[in-house]
Chains A and B, each alone.
Chain A
Amino acid sequence: MITLAVKNLQKSIGKKEIIKDISFEVHSGEVFGFLGPNGAGKTTTIRMIVGLIKPSAGSISICGYNVQEDFIKAMKCVGSIVENPELYKFLSGRENLELFSRMLGPINQDRIEEVVQLVELSQRIDDKVSTYSLGMRQRLGIAQALLGKPKLLVLDEPTNGLDPAGIKEMRGFLRKLAHEENLSVFVSSHLLGEIQLLCDQVAIISHGRIIKTDSVKEIISTEIGTVEWDIQPLNDGLKEIKGVSLNTEILDERRILSNMPFLKISEVNQALVAKGIKVNGIKKQNKSLEDLFLELTGGDKIE
């Protein structure tokens, strides 16, 4: 089932076109990543999905309801955190949840209890939110988003500001929600590693456009990445390395970073050795968002 369908979305603010053309679909039971550098239009798109901003053109439907025309029905299907989990700091966690429960219908204490246990916040739920750590606020934010039993969960940079343990916990939690409760989870991030660990599908956005939508496996397993070469003398080997690279960066008198197809590594190595250059080390690095962008756009820098 398609829980979120975005078609030809556009948004201009003043004369500036922020979102040029965005289309994608999210299915139930999948974690969908929305990947792009800061300023690419992720948050603007999310604000349009949850009805905070009106699109200039195009349509968004949640569980089949158009957000513009059927706002109430569409919002009943979605729980969201836009940017930071900003809750009422002067109220306790429970009072916050009661407040949002009242917006959904008569206050539902059982459901509140359920979501509090789900996000493991029972110990501190009666404390004021101002005393919470960022991780706890993030969890309370998710509890709030889950109150109405949504079909779609929209989270903007959910691991922002969390420590590594918190990130790991969040990851497990979101995957569980998607795969066990059959929810769609829509997550934005500017970190490739994050998306890689968390998502099934990913859409990559740059300058207000989707440049690729694919399964995470497909995108990660492509054969281009960053390789660190440690050679002596560096200058003699530059030509060989630059010849196969999309992009290079000299680190010091011995080391050079190259963005290149992995299959060419041995070829370059042979050529270097043949020229009598000492190859002290070849190191493949984890793929970064930058590598991915280089690969997808053929050398366009991200801004």
Chain B
Amino acid sequence: MSELIRLIQNEMIKIVRKKRFLVIFLILTILIPIFVYAQMRQTETLQERMGDADWQTVLQQQIVDSQNRLSSSQIPEEWKKVLRINIEQNQFYLDHNINPTNPGGPTFAKEFLENSISLFLPLLIMIVATDLISGEHGEGTIKLLLTHPVKRWKILLSKLFSLLLFVSLIVAALIVIAYIISGTIFGYSGWNAPILTGFNIVNDQLDTSHVQLIPLWQFIMMSGGFAWFVGIIIGIISLMVSVLVRSSVAGMGIMLASLISGTVLTAMASSWEGSKYLFVTNLELIKYLTGDLPPVTGMTLPFSLMILSVWGIVALIVAFVTFNRQDMLA
């Protein structure tokens, strides 16, 4: 056990000192301000469109509208539930003096997480993960690593554990940096703003029977958990590629190609049902919380979690078996 801890310590030193992690922080601190600026412009345009109307008045009007529709007998019971939740949500904004069109730091962090889970976050993780083994091949240090009295599977396990730690750090950093930077523009409050969740899509119909309001911080915790899970699966698959491909550049190319083809597929896959078994089409886990239509009919949160888990487990087995048997040729 203590041997494994020492090995993990070694791997952490390598990742940190190789500065790849620094690159990730730099990417985050450079790109997030750009996204914040884009969001700010969008908000401004939105507010311009609303004209001089006070946002509180607009909200009040919306609440009145919803109440009027509620009293109508033609509306089915299910819809009424959604309307009631809508009223509740708007009332909260009014009571707590939150302008819903003007996002706070927490809202930005939520949106950013939602938009980065399928491509941006996997890319960041891939930068660290594809280098773990192939980097040692490139530098020639694999020979030193594997001629010491340590079993090969323990070396790979220590790399896997340090990867898990870094995935957690990257996900946390993404949320924290997004919050801190966007907060300077949008303010730091709003953790308790209510968010609608609990949508189910059954046979192409939106099932709203479980819809509920949860505070934003809870929603971010849930999305963060999903992002962490996606990150770990992407990390494990990258690790497998790193074992199979001796060159870091080739490994990154492979991961990049699969991730990008994933976004393309997600956009056009609805007619090809088989694509739902690929890992790349199952990355949009947060969309299940917000009730967006999945890329292929019939995909649900448990389904996606299961597909990702299967990919992760298979990749782990392939990585460990190959690494243990592989001849380390020049």
Q: Are B327 and A54 in contact (CB under 8 A)?
A: yes
The residue in chain A whose Cβ has the minimal distance to the Cβ of B145 is A103
B interface footprint on A25-62 (CB within 8 Å = 1, 0 otherwise): 00000000000000000010001001111100000000
Residues of B within 8 A of A13 (CB): 327, 329
Tell me the minimal C-beta distance from B1 to chain A in angstroms.
Answer: 13
A52, A103, A106: the one contacting B143 at CB < 8 Å is: A52
Does B49 have its Cβ within 8 Å of any Cβ on chain A?
no
Which A183-227 residues have a C-beta within 8 angstroms of B?
A: none
Which B299-330 residues have a C-beta within 8 angstroms of A?
A: 325, 327-330
Does A102 have its Cβ within 8 Å of any Cβ on chain B?
yes
Which of B122-130, B146-154, B215-223, B248-256 sits within the interface? Answer: B146-154
Which B1-23 residues have a C-beta within 8 angstroms of A?
A: 2-3, 6-7, 9-10, 13-14, 17-19
Q: Are B329 and A53 in contact (CB under 8 A)?
A: yes
Q: Are A82 and B139 in contact (CB under 8 A)?
A: no
Does A95 have its Cβ within 8 Å of any Cβ on chain B?
yes
Q: Are A82 and B9 in contact (CB under 8 A)?
A: no
Question: Known contacts A54-B327, A84-B140, A102-B10; is A91 also within 8 Å of B17 by CB?
Answer: yes
Question: Known contacts A54-B327, A90-B18; is A103 also within 8 Å of B148 by CB?
Answer: yes
The residue in chain B whose Cβ has the minimal distance to the Cβ of A76 is B149
Does A89 have its Cβ within 8 Å of any Cβ on chain B?
yes
Does B30 have its Cβ within 8 Å of any Cβ on chain A?
no
Residues of A within 8 A of B325 (CB): 54
B interface footprint on A79-107 (CB within 8 Å = 1, 0 otherwise): 01011101111110001000110111111
Interface residues contributed by chain B, number (CB under 8 Å): 28
A11 to B149, CA, bound (A): 23
B7, B14, B150: the one contacting A88 at CB < 8 Å is: B14
Residues of A within 8 A of B14 (CB): 88, 99
Tell me the minimal C-beta distance from A275 to chain B in angstroms.
Answer: 55
Q: Are B328 and A86 in contact (CB under 8 A)?
A: no
B10, B151, B327: the one contacting A52 at CB < 8 Å is: B327
Residues of B within 8 A of A107 (CB): 6
Partner-B contacts on A (CB < 8 A): 13, 43, 47, 50-54, 71-73, 75-76, 78, 80, 82-84, 86-91, 95, 99-100, 102-107, 144, 148
Q: List 19 A-B contacts (CB under 8 A).
A: A13-B327, A43-B330, A50-B147, A71-B149, A80-B147, A82-B147, A83-B143, A83-B330, A84-B140, A86-B139, A87-B144, A88-B139, A99-B10, A100-B144, A100-B148, A102-B6, A102-B10, A103-B145, A107-B6
The 4 closest A-B pairs by CB, nearest first: A86-B140, A75-B149, A52-B328, A103-B148
Partner-A contacts on B (CB < 8 A): 2-3, 6-7, 9-10, 13-14, 17-19, 139-141, 143-151, 325, 327-330
